[in-house]
Amino acid sequence: MTTAISDALAASRTQTGPLAATNATEIQDRFLTLLVTQLKNQDPLRPMDNAQITTQLSQISTVSGIDKLNASMAGLATAMAANQTMASAAMIGRRVLAPGTTLTVAEGRASGAIELAAAADRMTVSVLGAAGNVVRRLEFGASPAGLQSFTWDGTGDDGKKVQDGAYAYRIEATASGKPVTATAYQVGTVTGIAVAGKEPTVIVNGLTEVRFADVKRIE
Count the neighbouring beta carbons within 10 Å of the beta carbon of residue 138: 17
Q: Could you give the CA distance from residue 50 to residue 56 in angstroms, rounded to a whole number?
A: 10
pLDDT of residue 47: 62
How high is the pLDDT of residue 2? Answer: 47
pLDDT at position 67 is: 66
Chain CA centroid to CA 219, Å: 22
Quote the crossing angle between the two packed helices 24-40 and 2-14, to the nearest 10°.
150
- Among residues 37, 68, 89, the one where a domain terminates is 89
The Cβ of residue 201 has, within 10 Å, a number of other Cβ atoms equal to 21
Please return the burial class of 38, using the count of CB atoms within 10 Å of its CB with bins 0-12, 13-18 and 19+.
middle
Task: Give me the CATH number covering residue 128.
Answer: 2.60.40.4070
pLDDT for the residue 144:
95
Q: Hey, which residues does 204 pair with through a beta bridge? A: 190, 208
* Distance (Å, whole) CA 14 – CA 27: 11
Last residue of a domain, one of 89, 117, 142: 89
- Do 183 and 152 share a structural domain? yes
Residues 107, 7: one domain?
A: no
Question: Which residues are bridge partners to 161 per DSSP?
Answer: 155
7 plus 106 within the same structural domain: no
Q: In this predicted model, what pLDDT tens digit does every residue of 98-151 receive, in sequence order?
A: 999 999 999 999 999 999 999 999 999 999 998 899 999 999 989 999 999 999
Strands 182-194 and 122-128: unpaired
Q: Please determine, for residue 9, whether its predicted confidence score (pLDDT) is greater than 60.
A: no
Q: How confident is the model at residue 195 (pLDDT cuts 50, 70, 90)?
A: confident
Q: Which domain, by its residues, includes 199?
A: 95-218
User: Is the same domain home to 15 and 120?
Assistant: no
Q: DSSP code of 47?
A: P
Q: Model pTM greater than 0.75?
A: no
Mean local confidence (pLDDT), 158-171 = 94
pLDDT confidence of residue 186: 92
Mean pLDDT of 150-161: 94
**Predicted pLDDT of residue 116:** 96
The rounded distance, in Å, linking the Cα atoms of 1 and 11 is 16
* 149 vs 165: CA distance, rounded Å: 19
pLDDT digits 0-9 by tens, 168-183: 999 999 999 999 999 9
Instruction: Compute CA 146 distance to the chain's CA centroid, rounded to the nearest angstrom.
Output: 24
- CB 101, CB 186: distance < 8 Å: yes
Predicted local distance difference test score (pLDDT) of residue 208: 82
Residue 143, sorted as left (phi over 0), alpha (psi -120 to 50) or beta, turns out to be: beta
The span from the CA of 105 to the CA of 167, in Å, is 8
Considering 59-63, 73-77, 126-130, 207-211, the range whose residues carry the highest mean pLDDT is 126-130
